[in-house]
Structure 1
């Protein structure tokens, strides 16, 4: 189990640095969220989180949610989605979503969602999945899970933009209440 724990710690570290706080280690992201791999390895190690290229490759390849991606030439890395940094634009092309997408949340947030819909909070986008099981897993991270159905095609038809991240996660700015189907009580 120690290897798994190290893998998870590295993944959490990369999420923090590549999504929210590259300045914590003095790393620069380009406008599309890419960081130079050699620079990341050097700065992470100098700031107390030793990383090797092999470890980085293992974490990227082994991440079940494919949170991170290398550039085609392998010299750059970025988070696939989930950025709170407003300066990052993943440059994803708008896409037509499937009829229904799912959002996993915790039951304690349902009252607020019923009032205000889904908002990105500190992130740039609301994250949606194509399957109920993934949404259930996401919701489980925050408490008693609830899976919401989003009438994505209908929302898209009203002019709402959707994007699909490299790892398959669907992104949109917000979801008004009228496009959310809540589970029966």
Structure 2
């Protein structure tokens, strides 16, 4: 079983194109697990029938917690690009958060703030290692921006639960960002 390929397909189905799988996400991004499995198994491209155990295996063994199963439903925790807004649980963030980015983007971010761009939320890292890993997707020597999340939160910026390494926000104004 190629769990990386399966994880990518589940991500695509739940984050980017649920309509291609005839899935309807609820306001929190959940779909019945049985519907997701039926849609994934329909094409037979994974060599055998995919089960809830396979999704649980991906969740337990992933370097990033991308999915969550609650009862008989499953969802992607973050990274949605679908038009529908996914509601997230508000949290009090850690005092400092980080964002890994390119040198060119860093200058724009310091001026205009952090925007979600094509995603629904800004993704922030709870530690520099995660920020470096994220930043290296676009730059071999990424800039790590420091976010004064405690001050931003006390000033009314809302933060949301992503997973154990990712905190989400709607927008981070530039006054809370430094290099």
TM (normalized to structure 1)?
Answer: 0.85
Alignment of 1:52-63 (within 5 A): 52-53=50-51, 54-63=53-62
CA RMSD across the alignment = 1.8
Instruction: Report deviation, 1:181.
Output: 0.8
- The question of whether the paired residues in 1 share the 8 Å contact of 2:102 and 2:143 is answered with yes
CA distance in 2, matches of 1:170, 1:63: 18
Alignment of 1:138-149 (within 5 A): 138-144=134-140, 145-149=142-146
Please name the residue that 1:69 is paired with: 68
SS in 1 for 2:91: coil
- Structure 2 residue runs of 5 or longer lacking an equivalent are none
Instruction: Report deviation, 1:33.
Output: 0.6
- The question of whether the paired residues in 2 share the 8 Å contact of 1:152 and 1:179 is answered with yes
- Structure 1 residue runs of 5 or longer lacking an equivalent are none
- The question of whether the paired residues in 1 share the 8 Å contact of 2:40 and 2:50 is answered with no
Alignment of 1:107-118 (within 5 A): 107-118=103-114
CA distance in 2, matches of 1:102, 1:140: 14
Instruction: Report deviation, 1:49.
Output: 4.1
Cα distance change of structure 1 residues 119 and 43 upon mapping to structure 2, 3 Å threshold: same
Aligned length: 175
Runs of 4+ in 1 over 6 A off after TM superposition: none
2:151 maps to 1:160:
no
Cα distance change of structure 1 residues 147 and 49 upon mapping to structure 2, 3 Å threshold: farther
